[in-house]
Structure 1
Amino acid sequence: MTSKHSAHVRREFYKAVGFYFRVVWPIFSILFLLIVVVGLIISYLEGWPPLDGVYFGFVTGLTIGYGELVPKLGVSRVLAILLGFNGVLMTAIFAAISVRAIEVAVRASGKDE
């Protein structure tokens, strides 16, 4: 594969990622906002600073889970579980966009040969 061909495939990939991301942006932004809002709710319930709550929301939503912030209240724990499901869904959408973009880029590169 030539350098020019590789550059073309990459360009097609990024073009497709941009297109499909714009398609799912309303859903993705709602999921993103949900992580922030639920993180803020948990921070309020647990008595944490708001920034810690947002941090906890993303660490939990992205299933990283460092463990330095742990909710103690039952309602906070239930919300943390919902954050996990929300994050998995957000990650799945991003993965689906990437896979579809790879398919489009490979198909486009096959037409050029």
Structure 2
Amino acid sequence: MDARQKRHAFFFALIGSFRVMWPVLSGVLATMLVPGFLIGRIEDWGIGDSLYFTFVTGFTIGYGDFTPTHFSSRMLAVIIGFAGIVLTGLVAAVGVQALRATEVEPSQEQ
């Protein structure tokens, strides 16, 4: 299998894996977005700031430029953090699965 065929196999497997995992991925995204918007409402932030806070908190566990001050907002931020860890793991798993689909058994190469 040449490099071009491997790339095609990888992208087809990646798209196929995302199709299968989409219900789970969308649920985890919703688990991040809903608390993020609630935090924005509690803290009186705009939608853009709420989205920024949600994804920065979920994917990198925060920069610190936006910090919730209310106890309920902080608890919701913990939920966002855990959901971000799960989402990162799921995306990594989908990528690994797509890479495994491009593996060629040594007996199949000949």
> What TM-score results when the alignment is normalised by the length of structure 1?
0.88
2:14 aligned residue: 17
1:71 aligned residue: 68
**1:55-80 residue CA offsets vs partner (Å, 9 max, x unmatched):** 11111111251211000111111111
> How large is the Cα RMSD of the aligned pairs?
1.8
Identity of aligned residues (%): 35
Deviation at 1:108, TM superposition (A): 7.2
1:53 aligned residue: 50
Deviation at 1:42, TM superposition (A): 0.1
Determine whether 1:88 maps to 2:77.
no
Separation in structure 1 between the aligned mates of residue 12 and residue 3 of structure 2, nearest angstrom: 14
Are the equivalent residues in 2 in contact too, given 1:12–1:108 (CA < 8 A)?
A: no
**Any unmatched runs of 5+ in structure 1?**
none
Paired residue type of 2:59? L
Paired residue type of 1:87? G
From the superposition, tell whether residues 10 and 53 of structure 1 become closer, same or farther in structure 2 (CA, over 3 Å).
same
Deviation at 1:22, TM superposition (A): 0.4
Are the equivalent residues in 2 in contact too, given 1:42–1:53 (CA < 8 A)?
A: yes
**Any unmatched runs of 5+ in structure 2?**
none
Are the equivalent residues in 1 in contact too, given 2:9–2:102 (CA < 8 A)?
A: yes
Q: Residue 28 of structure 1: SS of its match in structure 2?
A: helix
From the superposition, tell whether residues 110 and 44 of structure 1 become closer, same or farther in structure 2 (CA, over 3 Å).
farther
Paired residue type of 2:38? I
> What TM-score results when the alignment is normalised by the length of structure 2?
0.90
Query: What number of residue pairs does the alignment pair up?
Result: 110
Deviation at 1:29, TM superposition (A): 0.9
1:26 aligned residue: 23
Of stretches 46-55 and 8-17 in structure 1, the one that deviates more from structure 2 is 46-55
